[in-house]
Amino acid sequence: DGGITQSPKYLFRKEGQNVTLSCEQNLNHDAMYWYRQDPGQGLRLIYYSQIVNDFQKGDIAEGYSVSREKKESFPLTVTSAQKNPTAFYLCASSYFGGEETQYFGPGTRLLVL
Amino acid sequence: EDKVVQSPLSLVVHEGDTVTLNCSYEVTNFRSLLWYKQEKKAPTFLFMLTSSGIEKKSGRLSSILDKKELFSILNITATQTGDSAIYLCAVRNFGNEKLTFGTGTRLTIIP
């Protein structure tokens, strides 16, 4: 089955802890994205990557880090510097260029203990 | 800074009613406008609009773009309880692949 998978579904973070959210796609998409969704605020872009070994900051990158070592994978690390990490995190992917839309994974809900 | 504003923020209607959701935008180098439906988790793609005045239709849903007045509407006729969801509008500009999202409209259909 082609698609985007995110894990885990729920994640709990203790204060001062770094946690990593997984995103994998087998759609052969070039570009991948991480969004954060808070109630009443829509989706806000954290980081995006258009090709392997390259990524750019989005609108709210502070306190987050990413890597893109493989085309299929774009993990997001929420560092201890992110003071308000409780949110719903969505990963998306698309072809680069053309008129292709972005397709979303099922999301990870991060909660702070 | 690119900006997308959706209205209303929430809407409650009875089954069978027709609804119109609004999306206005301010974007440099506009490329396309997209509508998504988010029921529980992953947003699912509805429409992509690039040209003014051309209606896109899928069943009871339709959407149109006005590039002069910088807005789009999403219409849903004969609403059903399964239409209850958050409807997201996003715009993309030339030069990068970023989408800028609005806050969404939460639509609730009462049986």
What is the predicted pLDDT for the residue at A1? Answer: 57
Residue type at position A108 = T
Q: Which residue, among A101, A109, A110, would best test binding to B if mutated, counting the most B CBs under 10 Å from its CB?
A: A101
Contacts of B79 (CB under 8 A, 6+ apart): B13, B14, B15, B16, B17, B18, B19, B60, B109
The yes-or-no verdict on residue A68 having pLDDT over 80 is yes
- B7 to chain A, any CB pair closer than 8 A? The answer is no
Tally the residues of chain A: 113
What is the predicted pLDDT for the residue at A107? Answer: 95
Average pLDDT, chain A: 91
Contact A102, A86 (CB under 8 A): no
What is the predicted pLDDT for the residue at B2? Answer: 86
Nearest Cα of chain A lies from the Cα of B78 at a distance, in angstroms, of 26
**Mind spelling out the 3-state secondary structure of B46-105?**
EEEECCCCCCEEECCEEEEEECCCCEEEEEECCCCHHHCEEEEEEEEECCCCCEEECCCE
Task: Dump pLDDT digits (tens) for B9-67.
Answer: 999 999 999 999 999 999 888 999 999 999 988 899 999 999 888 899 999 999 999 99
Distance CA A7, CA A56 (A): 22
Q: pLDDT over 70 for what percent of chain A?
A: 96
Residue B93 banded pLDDT, cuts 50, 70, 90: confident
The yes-or-no verdict on residue A97 having pLDDT over 70 is no
Give the other-Cβ count within 10 Å of B37's Cβ. 18
Task: Dump pLDDT digits (tens) for A24-43.
Answer: 999 999 999 999 999 877 89
Average pLDDT over residues B106-111: 96
Contact A31, A91 (CB under 8 A): no
- B27 to chain A, any CB pair closer than 8 A? The answer is no
Contact A85, A34 (CB under 8 A): no
What is the predicted pLDDT for the residue at B98? Answer: 80
What is the predicted pLDDT for the residue at A2? Answer: 66
What is the predicted pLDDT for the residue at A27? Answer: 93
Contact A32, A40 (CB under 8 A): no
B101 contact residues in A (CB cutoff 8 A): 35, 42-44
